[in-house]
Amino acid sequence: MGRLAGALILLVVVYLAAAGLGAGLAVNGGRAPPAEGVRIYVADNGVHTDLILPAAAFRDFARPEHLADPRYGAEPYLAFGWGDRDFYLHTATWGDVNPWRVAKAMVGAGSTVLHVAHIPEPRAGGSVRTLLLRPEEYRRLVEHVRTTVAAGPVVRGYGGRDAFYTAKGGYSAIRTCNEWTGRGLRKAGVRMGIWTPLPWGVMLWL
């Protein structure tokens, strides 16, 4: 038992060290922020990051009728988060966290969903960062989000303003929700760590 505990501790230490190295080695370092462009946001709840983008580019698939309260479909922004399907659908609050579901997600044992919430434009500050993207940069970020969606059923969300869409890709300790966010920002051309499995790795460069 002692050897197993020691091995698990070593694994966690190695993982955290690798996450720190991946977050600290940035790509797109030569990018100069534009004076004008499309304003986006990135939100961090301490465990998970969301991309918050203008809703206009996604009206065709993120539709009001998918919501428990379709009135929220008129909100100007959408918050996108990708993750393990079983964990996402059964963890509406921190009190719902189940260690077995966490373990299954980290080893990549299930399918994934894209969580989409219709929200007002957020205020930047604290756990919410904002940046401007050039039109071409924004187009690449939109493509990242849209190509994540797969054919499949839409599931109502936790409340009136959100829904879950069947997604592509497998979640794991290597390919986390935060790495999905970081990968999209890297594709857009934003300065970002080469591997961002943890939320602080995403927020480090924003």
Q: Which residues of 98-125 are buried (b: 16+ CB within 10 A; e: fewer)?
A: eeebeebbeeeebebbbbbbbbeebeee
- 């300790």: which residue's tokens? 173
- Between CA 26 and CA 103 the distance in angstroms is 29
Q: Cβ of 79: how many Cβ atoms within 10 Å?
A: 20
Contact 77, 53 (CB under 8 A): yes
Q: Which residues of 32-52 are buried (b: 16+ CB within 10 A; e: fewer)?
A: eeeeeebbbbbbbeeebbbbb
Encode pLDDT of 149-172 as tens digits. 999 999 999 999 999 999 999 999
Q: Cβ of 166: how many Cβ atoms within 10 Å?
A: 17
In eight-state DSSP terms, residue 85 is H
Give the rounded distance of the alpha carbon of 39 from its chain centre: 17
- Between CA 113 and CA 86 the distance in angstroms is 9
**Residue 54 structure tokens:** 């203008």
Give the CA distances from residue 102 to residues 65, 99, 154, 173, in Å, rounded to whole numbers and listed in that order: 31, 5, 23, 10
**pLDDT tens, the chain, 206 aa long:** 667 667 677 887 888 999 999 999 999 988 988 989 999 999 999 999 999 999 999 999 999 999 999 999 999 999 999 999 999 999 888 788 787 787 787 877 789 999 999 999 999 999 999 999 999 999 999 999 999 999 999 999 999 999 999 999 999 999 999 999 999 999 999 999 999 999 999 999 99
**Residue 191 structure tokens:** 């300065």
Contact 77, 51 (CB under 8 A): no
